[in-house]
Amino acid sequence: MAGKVANNFGSFQVTFVKGKGVYLTDTNGKKYIDFVSGIGVNCLGHNRPSLVKALKKQVQKEIHISNYYLSDVGLEFADKLLAVTKMEKAFFGNSGAEANEAAIKLARKYGWMQNPKKQTIVTLEKSFHGRTVATLKATGQEKFHPACFEPFPEGFKYIKANDYEALKTAFDDSVCALMMECVQGEGGVNIIDADWAKKAAEAARACGAIVIADEVQTGIGRTGTFLASEQLGIEPEVVTLAKGIAGGVPMGACLYRGKASEVFVAGDHQSTFGGNPLACAGGLAVLSELTSDGFLKNVQETGEYIRNTIRSWNLPCVKEVRGKGLMIGIDITQSAGEVQKKCLENGLCISTAGPNTSRFLPPLILTKKEADAGLAIYKSVLESTK
């Protein structure tokens, strides 16, 4: 298969055939502890009974009907998602990039309705917003702007996160939106200071702009609250979601409220597969579990347990441990890619967030006992890797 599927991902030559909970099994019967969860997608782990049951039931009813019509499960999911997030309207797509494309278009139209020249979106250095041409340009990292993909769309301005001086000059009458991750994932699991985030949101609104929280990776309980923006106190007009929203079924969402809620009209932005009944059924199962008593508290406690455990090792190769909930970054002196490879060889799946940053995004159902098993492998690899 490796020779027939385009290897745009630089995939490891390991083929998985099944999963259960926080474990995966390959074609040779070898088991792995999963600290990747499909890059933060499998929030309920693998083969979660509630999710499997919901998807099986929906498959027997309908999978796709198009957005010319409404589905009962789609309406129910939208109502419940908006209630949990305190947003007013929802557009459903299939991925984080699509959700962010919707947010960009909404922001541009919002600005244009005030003044045709109000089209600039401020994003952060070290950010990541997607792989489409527009979301690549929104991404504040030059390595994602190679000449081979030019010309990129204009209208994006980058500022440094947690830099108060930058706020003094970043926002003027040309700015229609501030777009920011609440924790920068691909950029290194970088923490955004809550006070700075509130000041940035104030500066944006002062010039008539809206605030977009890119919660593609941080949302759906990943950081210990349903939305990470809750911890920053910025009350965004627009929130984008994907990753764990449907437990593994492809889905993205652009939610909006207040002055952003009346911008889109019929025909402005559409999606063939977006919000199909199967994905919405998965979304309902995820919402049911994440809003149950104690679920998010466990995410907070397990994440803190992992970070404190790594710090307690006092390994010279570990420079810094940071994160929120079960979104964790570890700066190390070794090559993060080499450590990732050796962890896989020893039965642990992890990812990277830069050349020297290991990233953990385990299923949100992870227990401390399971965390210990994965951490034992990670520690052993760190100690044996130069």
Write down the pLDDT at residue 321: 98
Confidence of residue 1 (pLDDT cuts 50, 70, 90): very low
Calculate mean pLDDT across residues 375-384. 98
pLDDT digits (tens, 9 = 90+) for 123-149: 999 999 999 999 999 999 999 999 999
Residue whose structure tokens are 């207040």: 258
Q: Peptide bond preceding 151: is omega within 30 degrees of 0, i.e. cis?
A: yes
Residue 252 and residue 240: Cα distance in Å, rounded?
Answer: 7
Q: Which residue has the tokens 């809003």?
A: 291
Instruction: Show the domains of the chain with their CATH numbers.
Output: 16-34+296-384 (3.90.1150.10), 51-290 (3.40.640.10)
Q: What integer pLDDT is reported at residue 2 of this predicted model?
A: 56
Q: Write down the pLDDT at residue 5.
A: 77
Judge contact between 109 and 267, C-beta under 8 A: no
Q: Which pLDDT score is estimated for 291?
A: 97
| 368-377 confidence digits (pLDDT tens) | 999 999 999 9
**Average pLDDT score over the chain:** 96
Res. 317: pLDDT tops 60: yes
- Tens of pLDDT, residue by residue over 32-68, are 999 999 999 999 999 999 999 999 999 999 999 999 9
- Of the candidates 352, 94, 361, 375, which has an alpha carbon nearest to the alpha carbon of residue 221? 361
Q: How far apart are the first and last CA of the chain?
A: 33
pLDDT of residue 46: 98
Residue 7 above 80 pLDDT?
no
Residues 6+ apart with CB under 8 A from 290: 43, 220, 221, 226, 296, 364
Q: How far apart are CA 293 and CA 291, in angstroms?
A: 7
Confidence of residue 9 (pLDDT cuts 50, 70, 90): confident
Reported confidence tier of residue 242, pLDDT bands at 50, 70, 90: very high
pTM, entire model: 0.96
Confidence of residue 3 (pLDDT cuts 50, 70, 90): low
Q: With contact defined as beta carbons under 8 Å apart, do 67 and 246 qualify?
A: no
User: Is the pLDDT reported for residue 201 higher than 70?
Assistant: yes
pLDDT, mean of residues 310-338: 98
- Is pLDDT at 212 greater than 50 in this prediction? yes
